[in-house]
A and B are shown apart, each in its own frame.
Chain A
Amino acid sequence: IQLTQSPSSLSASVGDRVTITCRASQGISNYLAWYQQRPGKAPKLLIYAASALQSGVPSRFSGSGSGTDFTLTISSLQPEDFATYYCQQVNNYPLTFGGGTKVEIK
């Protein structure tokens, strides 16, 4: 299953609302997770089951979608949110990730 993220990069300011899209090549119900990766660090789980917030993750992060189209939204971008974000389908082998969306400072 191929996952296509868009955009591949974006520039935004602190306080902005940011939306990242992930499209699956076939329906995956809600079997999707989102991760954040800061430079030089391991990925961090943000969202699972398309919309469930992982424990300890700030509530400004939210996920939605089902089937083939999913979104990750950051309601008010904070300085520590500048990172690369990846979606992952979690139910079919081989497990696959999207290509990533880099969120940069405007």
Chain B
Amino acid sequence: QVQLVESGGGLVKPGGSLRLSCAASGFTFSDYYMTWIRQAPGKGLEWVSHISNSGHTIYYADSVKGRFTVSRDNAKNSLYLQMESLRAEDTAVYFCARRGSYNSNWNFFDYWGQGTLVTVSS
């Protein structure tokens, strides 16, 4: 069965860095686009970043562009999010998710991890 397991969250001071990981299993990871989506406490969902199956095509939300870097290691079935210059407003649960279609017009997400909490506070 498809499983996505995030890790790496925690408490970090403003201006600090953190690297999130997402371990995938139960499917051919290298066939799928992957994404990061976050949810601030008590708030709605915000798309953060998207990476193609090869890693060559990447998109970012404006709110994280220049500070966050998404990457993947298909040999390790893993997705990463390197977060730099963290701000209080980056505090959220971060979910990794799998794009549910091979067609690039259809960026909906059929499997999600359980999320990892990132807290940015002094």
Contact = CB atoms under 8 A, between A and B. Distances in A.
**A-B interaction:** yes
Interface stretch (B13-21, B73-81, B111-119): B111-119
Interface residues of A, number: 24
A94 B61 contact: yes
Interface residues of B, number: 22
Interface stretch (A11-19, A65-73, A75-83, A85-93): A85-93
B112 to A, nearest CB: 4
Interface in A18-49: 31, 33, 35, 37, 41-45, 48-49
B8 interface: no
B89 interface: no
Nearest to B95: A42
Contact of A48 (B44, B108, B115): B108
Interface centre among A90, A96, A100 (most CB of B within 10 A): A90
Contacts of B95: 42-43
SS of A interface (majority): loop
A49 B110 CA distance: 13
A95 B112 contact: no
B100 interface: yes
Contacts of A45: 100, 108-110
Nearest to A55: B110
B106 to A, nearest CB: 6
B50 interface: yes
Given A45-B100, A93-B59, A95-B50, A86 B45 contact: yes
A94 B107 contact: no
Nearest to A48: B108
Given A98-B44, A99-B44, A48 B106 contact: yes
Given A45-B108, A97-B44, 4 more contacts: A42-B113, A42-B114, A45-B110, A95-B107
Interface of B: 35, 44-47, 50, 59, 61-62, 95, 100-101, 105-110, 112-115
